Amino acid sequence: MSTISPDVLREKAIAVRQHAYVPYSHFPVGAALLSRDGQIFTGCNVENASYPLSLCAERAAVASAVSSGVRQFDAIFIVGEKSLAMPCGGCRQVLSEFGDLHVYVSYGDGQETKHFWLHELLPESFQLNPSSLE
């Protein structure tokens, strides 16, 4: 795992949370995703009037990383504003595509941080064998 501490990830997630576009839920979330090589990719939630088209902070961070060619991760820190922002089922599945990782969840300025392994949050995740797609 990279030598970057969860505290650094928390600060990045808090910083990006302020950019969240949340006119419907008023529930801003920021996420900071740590790659195995020590890069940090951030994302915030972006809502849409057509709710299914909204983008969670976790998936925004993953999209940023993958767009940069990065696909190996060690940790993600997710920060809500007034309450814990546990990743939704869809985000858990998207993260699981890239293996098991540390998941830190907090709110505000870092009160009540909880730590999980992704496999604890999504046991028996759906997986395809890439060779079966050929």
Task: Using CA atoms of 82, 83, 84, 85 in order, give the dihedral in degrees to the nearest 10.
Answer: -70
Q: Yes or no: say if 30 and 64 are a contact pair by the CB < 8 Å rule.
A: no
Burial (CB count <10 Å: 0-12, 13-18, 19+), residue 120: exposed
Residue reference for tokens 């650094």: 8
- HEC string for 110-124: CEEEEEEEHHHHCCC
- 56 marked as binding residue: yes
Is 66 annotated to bind a ligand? Reply is: no
91 is in an annotated binding site: yes
Known binder of ligand: residue 48?
yes
Catalytic residues: 58
49 known member of a binding site = yes
Has 97 been labeled as part of a binding site? no
- Going by the annotation, the residues of the binding site for substrate are 45-51
- Going by the annotation, the residues of the binding site are 45-51, 56, 88, 91
- Going by the annotation, the residues of the binding site for Zn(2+) are 56, 88, 91
